């Protein structure tokens, strides 16, 4: 195995994207009906929380993912919070998730009053490791009156939340089996995995709830936005009611039957999303073509390109490498960013952040290993770069 000079990686990235100036990590692509649909929304005067594009966007996501009901929200964090609320997660509950994740996962838990238990990730997927979860539960939990309870704190462990890291699906069959054994709810943080499939099923549709994000750096974007994927139509109807201020339909009266959330996605953003969905298939094809070129480039080196798991089809949202050591990672990050090629390390582990460092956790060997070595490379999907 050969050691690739960090400067050679920068040169290869430039050869792929054919840009002399700054190369972003993941910029959006606008080539279709974005302006047309947004102008239609403006002309309709329905630019805020209602309008036909919101309904159309939800239907397009339902058709693409195969979910029973999709509920549009103002961002992915709002969708996460709604998923937790719908799952019955309450103040003082514990929820098992991974420390190698974006902070929104834990922030949404914090705002509903729950606390994370951090378990290790798997090198297979970079997502929550079922072996680590089962090991933690066996050592630290009991079933009491049909509920999973932490042995020492006596808090209820309510759910398991894997995150499909950089678009690579986690090991969902094994996690589902654990949830069934320990009476836990499975909620998929699929924020990064639109277009990723686990054994032929779209991510976010195997758990009770799944969450997508349409931030500006995602595979498709609405500028800001999210989507809650619901396993049943009834749960979807309930989620739609809760996220739209729990307002009961009436010709003119303002009647709300409970304390709901104002998490509605504006019609302007949904219009943008409808146009982006029309290009999604080609975006995904371009991203797979880009991933192949990265994979081939690193194939004979001691830098490991992160490939989709054998059981999955990944959207390759961000092309990711595992460097041979932390020093090499730091050299690559410093050299590339100083020369206008945007690269990024993994997130700092949630268990290292001041607001979450005191939370319960299991062994974190793989998470620490990856935190010190992961680098995300430019991954924009425009065919102009390929």
Both tokens assigned to 321: 């490498």
CA neighbor of 374 nearest in space, from 346, 351, 349 = 346
DSSP 183: T
Model pLDDT, residue 19: 85
End-to-end Cα distance, the chain: 27
Q: What would you measure as the largest C-alpha separation in the chain, in angstroms?
A: 71
CA distance 136 to 120: 10
Model pLDDT, residue 185: 98
The answer, yes or no, to whether residue 60 has pLDDT greater than 60, is yes
| Domains of the chain from N-terminus onward | 6-29+280-385 (3.90.1150.10), 34-277 (3.40.640.10)
The answer, yes or no, to whether residue 141 has pLDDT greater than 60, is yes
The answer, yes or no, to whether residue 168 has pLDDT greater than 80, is yes
List, for residues 335-356, the tens digit of each pLDDT value: 999 999 999 999 999 999 999 9
Read off the pLDDT of each residue in 80-91 and give the average, rounded to a whole number: 98
Read off the pLDDT of each residue in 174-190 and give the average, rounded to a whole number: 98
383: pLDDT confidence band, cut at 50, 70 and 90?
A: low
CA distance 220 to 276: 6
Averaged pLDDT score across all residues of the chain: 96
List, for residues 200-227, the tens digit of each pLDDT value: 999 999 999 999 999 999 999 999 999 9
List, for residues 17-26, the tens digit of each pLDDT value: 988 899 999 9
Both tokens assigned to 71: 């509920």
List, for residues 281-334, the tens digit of each pLDDT value: 999 999 999 999 999 999 999 999 999 999 999 999 999 999 999 999 999 999
Model pLDDT, residue 384: 46
**Residue 196 CB neighbour total at 10 angstroms:** 24
């Amino acid at each position: 195995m050969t050691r690739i000079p960090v400067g050679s990686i920068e040169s290869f990235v430039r050869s792929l994207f054919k840009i002399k100036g700054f190369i972003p990590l993941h910029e959006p692509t606008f080539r279709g009906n974005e302006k047309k649909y947004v102008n239609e929304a403006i002309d309709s005067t329905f630019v805020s929380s209602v309008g036909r594009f919101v309904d159309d966007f939800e239907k397009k996501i339902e058709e693409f993912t195969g979910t029973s009901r999709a509920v549009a929200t103002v961002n992915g964090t709002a969708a996460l919070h709604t998923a937790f609320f719908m799952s019955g997660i309450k103040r003082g509950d514990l929820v098992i998730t991974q420390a190698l994740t974006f902070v929104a996962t834990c922030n949404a838990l914090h705002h509903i009053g729950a606390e994370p238990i951090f378990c290790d990730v798997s090198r297979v997927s970079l997502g929550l490791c079922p072996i680590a979860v089962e090991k933690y539960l066996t050592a630290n939990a009991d079933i009491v009156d049909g509920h999973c309870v932490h042995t020492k704190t006596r808090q209820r462990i309510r759910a398991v939340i894997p995150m499909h890291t950089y678009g690579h699906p986690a090991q969902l069959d094994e996690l589902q089996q654990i949830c069934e054994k320990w009476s836990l709810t499975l909620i998929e943080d699929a924020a990064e995995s639109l277009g990723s499939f686990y054994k032929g099923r779209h991510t976010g549709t195997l758990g009770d709830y799944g969450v997508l994000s349409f931030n500006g750096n995602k595979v498709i974007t609405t500028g800001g936005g999210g989507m809650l994927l619901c396993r049943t139509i009834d749960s979807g109807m309930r989620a739609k009611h809760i996220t739209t201020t729990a307002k009961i339909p009436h010709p003119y009266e303002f009647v709300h039957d409970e304390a709901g959330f104002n998490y509605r996605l504006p019609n302007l953003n949904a219009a943008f999303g409808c146009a982006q969905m029309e290009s999604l298939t080609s975006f995904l094809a371009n991203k797979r073509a880009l991933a192949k070129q990265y994979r081939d480039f690193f194939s004979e080196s001691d830098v490991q390109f992160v490939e989709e798991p054998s059981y999955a089809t990944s959207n390759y949202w961000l092309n990711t490498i595992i460097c041979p050591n932390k020093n090499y990672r730091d050299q690559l990050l410093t050299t590339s960013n100083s020369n206008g090629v945007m690269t990024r390390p993994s997130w700092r582990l949630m268990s290292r952040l001041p607001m979450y460092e005191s939370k319960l956790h299991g062994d974190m060997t793989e998470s620490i290993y990856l935190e010190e070595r992961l680098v995300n490379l430019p991954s924009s999907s425009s065919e102009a770069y390929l």
